[in-house]
Amino acid sequence: MDDDKEPKFWITVLKLVLGAIALIAFFGLGLYFTAKYNTYTPEGAPPDGSWGISNDSPIRKHR
């Protein structure tokens, strides 16, 4: 008689799988729209790429 009160195992697994798919879809769509429609631009002048490590080679030159 207790079997009728508890949901079947496959129904519980199905609910968990559907919940996981819903969460993945929600975050995926959020990341997609954030990447596509990002309009944030920081204030100030654009960065100057003439200094810093951005132009340094990872391989040292031997003289």
Who's near 55: CB < 8 A, 6+ residues apart? 49
Model pTM score: 0.53
The pLDDT of residue 21 is 98
**Percent of the chain clearing pLDDT 90 (strictly above):** 44
Helices (H), 1-63: 9-36
Q: How far is it, in rounded angstroms, from Cα 29 to Cα 41?
A: 22
**Cβ within 8 Å of residue 49, ≥6 positions away:** 55
Here the tokens at position 24 are 């993945």
Distance CA 10, CA 3 (A): 14
Tell me what the pLDDT averaged over the chain comes to: 83
Question: What percent of the chain shows pLDDT beyond 70?
Answer: 76
Residues 10-34, mean pLDDT to the nearest whole number: 96
Give the pLDDT score at 61.
Answer: 73
